[in-house]
Structure 1
Amino acid sequence: MTENLKTIRELAEELGVSKKKIHYQVSKLDTDLIQRLDGTIYLDKSAISKIKSSMGYTSMVRVDTSNIQNRHELDSILDNEKNKLINYLKKQLDKKDSQLSTKDEQIKSLVEINKQTQNLLDQQQMLALQDKNLLEEYKSEIKKLKSLNILKQGSEKDDYIPKENPVAGTKKKKKKWWFF
């Protein structure tokens, strides 16, 4: 059963990477691709191929040179594998280029949004300054009106002089409070 399965250590040794790297890739896999027996994690062929593809490894064909009679056959197999690798790398570069163009578009839109936000902020500050100036004008007008009103009231008080009380000539007796 375990001849078709590999442990994390075996796969790490085969790929020449650390066990931590393989363990990280395993953590991203579905649990149905992983088998646990006695605390050991075993990976099947599909899990191994997914790990290899996520780490950028291509499926290279191992060729037994003892079975090949002709050097020309070996060169054609190697050329074929090189072409596969080149095509894979081209696809990866195209993928990265499309991601970069998408990021460039996103950056442009964010810059435009930033400009709009700055413009709105400037407008808000101008309106706040206008409001402040209007408030100051209103306050000064209110002070002027109050001062005019106080002067007007003061002149009316000067015009009013109370007349003497005709009964004032008679003396009133002061009553003492303790008689009550």
Structure 2
Amino acid sequence: MSKNVKTIKELADELGTNKTRISRIINKNSIPTQKIKNKIVLEDNSVSLIRQYFKNETQQQNETQQQDETQQQNETQQQNETQQQNETQQQNETQQQNETVSILRTELDKAHSHIEKLSNLLDQQQRLALQDKKLLEEYKSEINELKSLKMPQEDKKENQSQEEVQTIKKQMEALNDKIKGQEQLNNQVSKKWYQFWK
């Protein structure tokens, strides 16, 4: 083959790509080719066009790849930022939850101590109530004892006064009986005298 022509394979090897890509560039851009001994060959003119297209396409691919990489980096960065935001939010929520738990524990401790104080006060109140009840019972028993000590004297006085009243009643009854008896005698005597005068 002459130095002025190259096969698709030679050009692909030179450009570091495969025959399919070179064939695609040829078909896409309608680059002229020749057939020598059942092989497709390219003249210098066509080779330079293919090189230019390849360079442009590679550049576009590189730009696209760079854009894709940039986009991917941006997406990754956004994902990282979102993840950091989520982690920060989770940390804040965890911190708030810990603070809430701490506050609730403090309040619970206060409530427990308050309940304990109230229990102690209630216990003291119950003890005082029992002491008051015992004292009241002791006072009642003492009052009953004092009453029982006074009652016999009063009973004796009452019994004495009742006995005196009964004695006086008996004496009055006896006097009434005597008076009645005297009246009957007087009536009988007056009747006798009356008959005597008749």
TM-score by structure 1 length? 0.50
- 2:33 maps to 66
Q: Which is worse superposed, 130-139 or 153-162?
A: 153-162
TM-score, with structure 2 as normaliser: 0.46
Deviation of residue 73 (structure 1)?
2.4
**Residue-by-residue CA offset, 1:22-45 (whole Å, 9 max, x unaligned):** xxxxxxxxxxxxxxxxxxxxxxxx
- Are residues 1:148 and 2:115 paired? no
Name the counterpart of 2:74.
98
What is the Cα-based RMSD across aligned positions, in Å?
2.7
Please report how far the alpha carbon of residue 65 of structure 1 lies from its aligned counterpart in structure 2 after TM superposition.
Answer: 4.4
Matched position secondary structure for 2:89:
helix
* Aligned mate of 1:117, from 93, 99, 116: 93
Decide whether aligned partners of structure 1 residues 144 and 63 sit closer, same or farther in structure 2, where only a CA change above 3 A counts: same
Amino acid aligned to 1:104: N
User: What displacement does 1:119 show?
Assistant: 0.9
Distance 1:132 1:64, change over 3 A: same
Task: Describe the SS at the equivalent of 2:33.
Answer: coil
Which residue of structure 2 lines up, in the alignment, with residue 76 of structure 1? 52
- Partner secondary structure for residue 126 of structure 1: helix
The answer to whether the aligner puts 1:87 opposite 2:63 as a matched pair is yes
Distance 1:63 1:88, change over 3 A: farther
State the partner residue of 2:108: 132
1:74: Cα distance to partner? 2.6
- Bigger Cα Rg: 2
Cα distance between partner residues in 1 of 2:89 and 2:77: 18
Segment drifting more, 104-113 vs 150-159: 150-159
Pair 1:150–1:134, CA change in 2 (3 A): same
Which letter does structure 2 place at the counterpart of 1:66? T
- Matched residues in 2 for 1:156 and 1:88: separation? 98
Shift of 1:63: 4.6
1:62 is displaced (CA, Å) by 5.7
Task: Give unmatched runs, 5+ long, in structure 1.
Answer: 1-58, 167-180
1:57-111 Cα deviation digits (max 9, x unpaired): xx96365542764222232222222222222212211211211121121122112
Hey, what's the Cα distance between the residues in 2 that align with 1:156 and 1:86? 101
Aligned with 2:48: secondary structure?
A: helix
Question: Sequence identity, in percent?
Answer: 6
How many residues are treated as equivalent by the alignment?
108
Please give the alpha-carbon distance, in whole angstroms, between the structure 1 residues aligned to 2:98 and 2:117.
29
Assess, with a 3 A threshold, how the Cα gap between structure 1 residues 63 and 140 changes in structure 2: closer, same or farther. Answer: same
